[in-house]
Structure 1
């Protein structure tokens, strides 16, 4: 399986692409320039070669070209230093030489003569390499008669030197242009993309904010020099600001709706307490009046008392949750968790002797700051949850321990476990266990929500892990400083 290539940043992509295009352009310009100059210079040397050949042919028009070691026609008037001349008989070089800087005509060596002969020089200029001493020559052959021809050549050393210098100049200029253009492109791209950095910074700031609850003041906006969105980056910034404005209005609307629901729940719960107490009181009064009451009426009154008591508990729980949502602070006082957990387990043991209750606490007191009644309710709710949602004979172990500066309370049972699809939602309101955790009595589904809310209000955390045969609720509270 081939590894996936990591994506490049936009800044890097733009800079690399710009430098690559400039490099390609410089390469094309350099190559075209070198070949153009070479073509022009070769055209000039061919013209000079034609003129030198004409002078050489004219000097031997009425004489013998000579078959000695070095022909003398290359020393005729107007010939330049380096001019090469040779005489061929039946395509075989029989004499050859070149004009040196002292205007002498040194003869060609056997190797040079052979190279010239093998080049098959004709009536069109031909480039031939004559070895390290002479290098490349441009040569042209002119027939004298049916068997004899003369060859005239001009050196290409000056042209090759010029082309080499041109190549070095082109490379130097290209490298300089690449360095300057690369730095300029980086600076320009960085300047042009700076608004995107602002967009990123604004998005990062928003991503670190708590938007899922509470009053949200989303005042983050992207600073921009182009509020009208004329440029592409300006349009991105403007669109981001419009999105943030829309999200801000949506969060405000959500918060207003939540506040309205909380006030309704709080007000309704408060108002329902009195009539529920009245219903329960009248039912008890009627049942205890001493008058003869039919059995079915007595049963109905008992059910009214039971359901009104259950309704009262639900109302109290809803009222507590509403107060937690409003952020009301609890009474803060030193609370001994060792004593509190011991009392809660004792109450659970008295409520259900069919379960096996186990308790592990440290020898010294564990003191936290908070509301003892609400913390006691947290532990009791966890124990009640274990009792209600597990069959008889289930072992429930409660452990209190100190871990650093935290007090940790765990309630672990060996019951059937929680449905994996419900684990993440057990602390939500009105969530009840399904058939995977057997229960003997009903449940409002608010107990664990109260656990989560009270613990959070005390600066702690609550969590749960569950698998068949082991379910553990874990409460972490900060220890009170001495």
Structure 2
């Protein structure tokens, strides 16, 4: 009985690669052994998942297109997979039918010669595919020898056969002998459909490369068609989604226009609405547009009511301030007249008259401030003429030096005139209020610097030249909680920055209102030891 050729190293008894034994001599990474017990070094422990950077959010259009393309890709993959499996099963079934017919023909009676291999003679016959293998089974049940058909026709049958190697014969021995086709991998030849004859005396195999080539071609065609279809679907989907989202873009544009309206001050006219074509409640985008229109209507009504209330309050403040000026002037006049009368009043009476005059004067200043704010809120135009800020700064600092002799006053003026278009009296009031604020809210000995910078910056298209006015002191500074609302009306500071005689809290509010009426801006920066009020006005 012939013996099966020995297998190559690293292969199993059937010629297939077997499990490789572990080699302790092979170099590789060393596994860490058990750690010795000891004190562990303190270190930060992770108590939560690892934080990642912010993800880039996709737009709705991108998400819709990607979702559609992904769905088409899944459907195409399922269809391609089912088609490939069905075609493979069909072609393999045809090959199995051909294999059964070949097995039946190989068992046809021929002249018996014990010295010849009947199965090999059948393989050498014409009409079989190139690559057909056949082998004879020895009486012991093992495949003894076999051959492969290497050509469809030849003059001599022996020229069409290639003997099988030991590994290939071992692979044939691993095929079940149940008379049904089975797939076997022959080393060096590929996959075969192999079947033993009914009596188990021979084995016949047909190559699967024709099936594999056909299925591979189908897979390639399906992949190319799927990729082309996904590209076309992506382009068409992007266009269709873009068209479908145009109403939503128009709704967003309406909301953007509303957000750009100055709704925090002045007359409010909220007439922007979503077009009726995009406010149809029968569509999803139309529902959003209709809801936005209703919201804008409610907001417009609320703003109109607020504007009417503010207008009534301003009118009341203006009328009350105007009406209070006359009785306050009368009170001050009668108090002064009483003190200068022929009869000499007593000490208590003189003290009471002095208090009446001082309180009347203080109330008169408050009324004048309220009247000025009411006029500025109503939008009354100011005088507009070319004004040099340098002389105004000189006069304001001179007045402040007389009012606060305990402070150190400094003045920094430019060489060139600092010309602006505005009301000289109101600009002088801005300087006076800023200097009075520095004088009354800082202790004696504080250095206050008034600085005028002419034509700060270069006049460029879209960036006109400006004149900057600064009032700086080295006092204790403004409390951080008061800094954001220092320009609000009736804003009061803490005890360290409060006026001994009481502060109305309208000085800086008037500064902001006057500067805004001149088209400028005012800002403040304050830290302990340095407080700077900066006024920026357009240069003339």
**TM > 0.5:** yes
Give the Å deviation of 1:191. Answer: 2.1
In 2, distance between residues paired with 1:372 and 1:468?
33
Partner of 1:433: 493
Structure 2: runs of 5 or more not aligned: 1-50, 458-464
In 2, distance between residues paired with 1:312 and 1:472?
29
Distance 1:224 1:192, change over 3 A: farther
Partner of 1:88: 137
Distance 1:100 1:113, change over 3 A: farther
In 1, distance between residues paired with 2:146 and 2:259?
91
Partner of 1:27: 77
Residue by residue, what CA displacement relative to the aligned partner does 1:103-140 show, whole Å, maximum 9, x if unpaired? 764454334575145322422212344566x6543221
Partner of 1:153: 205
Residue by residue, what CA displacement relative to the aligned partner does 1:35-54 show, whole Å, maximum 9, x if unpaired? 11101211222122112212
Give the Å deviation of 1:196. Answer: 2.5
In 2, distance between residues paired with 1:161 and 1:461?
80
Give the Å deviation of 1:69. Answer: 9.1
Distance 1:95 1:273, change over 3 A: closer
Residue by residue, what CA displacement relative to the aligned partner does 1:390-416 show, whole Å, maximum 9, x if unpaired? 111111111112113222211111111
Partner of 1:468: 528
Distance 1:379 1:95, change over 3 A: closer
2:149 to 90, 98, 106: 98
Written as runs of structure 1 = structure 2, the 5 A alignment for 1:4-23 is 4-23=54-73
Distance 1:213 1:250, change over 3 A: same
In 1, distance between residues paired with 2:60 and 2:515?
46
Is the Cα–Cα contact under 8 Å of residues 145 and 169 in structure 2 kept in the other structure?
no
Give the Å deviation of 1:84. Answer: 4.1
In 1, distance between residues paired with 2:163 and 2:337?
143
Distance 1:334 1:226, change over 3 A: closer
Written as runs of structure 1 = structure 2, the 5 A alignment for 1:134-153 is 135-144=190-199, 149-153=201-205
1:71 to 104, 115, 120: 120
**SS of the residue 1:140 aligns to:** strand
2:106 to 27, 50, 56: 56
Is the Cα–Cα contact under 8 Å of residues 415 and 437 in structure 1 kept in the other structure?
no
Is the Cα–Cα contact under 8 Å of residues 65 and 71 in structure 1 kept in the other structure?
no
* 1:127 matched to 2:183: yes
Partner of 2:287: 235
Partner of 1:334: 386
Give the Å deviation of 1:438. Answer: 5.4
Is the Cα–Cα contact under 8 Å of residues 136 and 157 in structure 1 kept in the other structure?
yes
Partner of 1:447: 507
2:272 to 207, 217, 220: 220
- Between 229-238 and 97-106, report the one with greater CA deviation: 97-106
In 1, distance between residues paired with 2:71 and 2:227?
14
TM normalised by structure 1 equals 0.91
Partner of 1:291: 343
Is the Cα–Cα contact under 8 Å of residues 124 and 140 in structure 1 kept in the other structure?
yes
Is the Cα–Cα contact under 8 Å of residues 66 and 72 in structure 1 kept in the other structure?
no
In 2, distance between residues paired with 1:316 and 1:221?
43
Written as runs of structure 1 = structure 2, the 5 A alignment for 1:312-331 is 312-331=364-383
In 1, distance between residues paired with 2:106 and 2:416?
123
How many residues are paired up?
474
Is the Cα–Cα contact under 8 Å of residues 400 and 410 in structure 1 kept in the other structure?
yes
Give the Å deviation of 1:94. Answer: 3.4
In 2, distance between residues paired with 1:452 and 1:100?
103
TM normalised by structure 2 equals 0.82
Residue by residue, what CA displacement relative to the aligned partner does 1:418-453 show, whole Å, maximum 9, x if unpaired? 111111211111112211325433221111111111
Is the Cα–Cα contact under 8 Å of residues 93 and 117 in structure 1 kept in the other structure?
no
In 1, distance between residues paired with 2:150 and 2:397?
121
